[in-house]
Chains A and B, each alone.
Chain A
């Protein structure tokens, strides 16, 4: 049982990093980006092709180097930022709202199709595998101890990303992103270069997603197109929404509730004999219902974003916060 809990905590930490990256793009910049999972996948795939060595027939994939894991992670993050840059350059120029969402959906779908169909890239539907216990041999860990090590590593990484986001939230850049979200015209009037700011935020988010993907693949030891499941994606987006878009603590709470509590507790519901799919489909209904209810009654999430109020002396009565 402890191995199960360790695996849940590890996955939860990775999920938390994913959600924090999404929060930059969706929470702070305010763009409902559907391509986000693609960056996670790019991070995962690139980490694999940089660590598992040359392909053995009949497998095909690009690169096939055998770099140490940390080096591979860095390169994987760079790759996902590069892909994010390309998508962002196209999508952020003139598109907002649902048009932006649809184009990003198209982008991620094209990525998915290429990863699955174009065999020389990442071995198509077989996917890649073989990343066993990265960095485990540095410490001489056996399999079970490694699970604890990985969990600790992921939790620490999550803590670091959280710290980074917290600093970023209060920084000029973080605040600038949020002003863009609130009112682009006003921001433009104040001399902000909207496009560059959003692009920076987008690429940063993509990089965090790639980092999460690199850790994810250490957890899974493999990755293939089946991992691009819509359920995972909906749980991720619901987590950000339920917890509180824009508020990093809210995002953490959301990951805990949606990712851990809802996802895992429904695993243990009693089965209906003869119809194994009922309880599992019920989980899907619950997740969708939670999403809709929150959007309607608490769109700001459980922990709404803190409003930054100017501490300068009040010259006039406070107007309503938008």
Chain B
């Protein structure tokens, strides 16, 4: 019998691997810091989903980042070096996000990260914090409203804020009875409370609130349910595919008689295409953050047309990624260093008031070089971070123009009104 030999062999294997590991551990040390000034191209990483049903999220983030990359490199780059954008696929899966972020940190040596999504942030944040790499979170989760992690920033509005804006807009428009139709992912847990609380505080009533499972082939029973409760307005966010079915069912059953108020997701090109531009124009208003002046948004659109093509529209939330990259690049310029803690410390000094307002990377960089304190206002909003690294911006209601395929701002909701409406 060869049992004893194999038994000993196995023990030897286990023992030697343990010893080997500790030997390596003793030799292993921190990844060497890349020094203060860049000696080669500067790399930032996009960490998101690129495969799977939510792949449009990653695509949008990468798109926005690449538009920013062009603007930056055209203006001379970051501290004189060109910007590279790498990406890693988390598959919108928390388990895969850990090796993915390690890939960006270890193999790509990124100085800043754009992403991830709400599904992955819990697993990713301890890693980026220990690695001291500034990370621009792109999810709407309300749990992030009280973020205390110094290396995490979010330049897009929390669902809690956006919910307030949506309710305010609807109330101002004269609607008093509302229905909520959200799909069963994290959005369904974060939007209904602020919308309901705000709408009720202002004096309206919520007559129906339903959650639908995504990617079903028919929602007619749910839709009929909503119609029977007689709302004046329907608040909604779902993914593009679900929206297509939903709107179809509403069209079949009541000819889309009830108007919809949506979010930044519903203002994205994939969503609008799924329900068609004409339907969007006639029945949907999307509420989301807007830039203080048109200049930053114009610059974004100009660069977007140069990179992607003049007849295409940005995917939902690409502008947040754009702003994230530009603000990080400016922070590096201001800190004169690619060292994580330096960049992090410099962030609010380029984005927050007071300072000379600037809207494009080129003008902002020139001002920095001249020694002026700047206040970068982005395409998605003024990017003034509060103590929790969240932003609050003016919000606006947008309607789709079927001719140009663009979203047109039709009403602005002022910060004062929003503050008054917040429950």
Contact = CB atoms under 8 A, between A and B. Distances in A.
The answer to whether A and B touch directly, with their CB atoms under 8 angstroms apart, is yes
Q: How large is the interface on B (under 10, 10 to 19, 20 to 34, 35 or more residues)?
A: 35 or more
B103 A4 contact: yes
A281 B49 CA distance: 12
A175 interface: no
Interface string A139-163: 0000111001101100110011011
Interface string B118-143: 11101100100011000000000111
A126 B95 contact: no
A280 B50 contact: yes
Nearest to B31: A3
A43 interface: no
B94 A58 contact: no
Given A223-B94, A231-B93, A145 B107 contact: no
A222 interface: yes
Interface stretch (A65-73, A81-89, A116-124, A200-208): A116-124
A220 B3 contact: no
A132 B126 contact: yes
B14 A11 contact: no
Nearest to A268: B107
Most A-side CB within 10 Å, residue of B96, B118, B142: B96
Contact of A281 (B51, B92, B120, B130): B51
A227 B287 CA distance: 31
A284 interface: yes
Contacts of B105: 3-4
B414 interface: no
A281 to B, nearest CB: 6
Contacts of B6: 166
B103 A219 contact: no
B31 A1 contact: yes
Contacts of B25: 145, 148-149, 152
Interface in B167-185: 184-185
B93 A229 contact: yes
Interface in B44-101: 50-52, 55, 58-59, 62, 87-89, 91-96, 98-100
A289 interface: no
Given A8-B99, A129-B122, A219-B98, A155 B184 contact: no
Nearest to A264: B99
Interface in A166-190: 166, 170
A220 B95 contact: yes
Given A227-B95, A231-B91, A267-B88, A2 B28 contact: yes
B99 A1 contact: no
A276 interface: yes
Nearest to A311: B1
Contact of A226 (B55, B88, B100, B120): B120
A58 B143 contact: yes
A319 interface: no
A277 interface: yes
Contacts of A125: 119, 184-186, 188-189
B102 interface: yes
Contacts of A163: 10-11, 14
A193 interface: no
14 contacts: A3-B105, A4-B103, A116-B184, A119-B189, A152-B21, A163-B11, A222-B94, A222-B123, A227-B95, A229-B52, A229-B96, A267-B89, A267-B103, A276-B50
Interface of B: 3, 6-7, 10-11, 13-14, 17-18, 21-22, 24-25, 28-31, 50-52, 55, 58-59, 62, 87-89, 91-96, 98-100, 102-103, 105-107, 118-120, 122-123, 126, 130-131, 141-143, 184-186, 188-189, 193
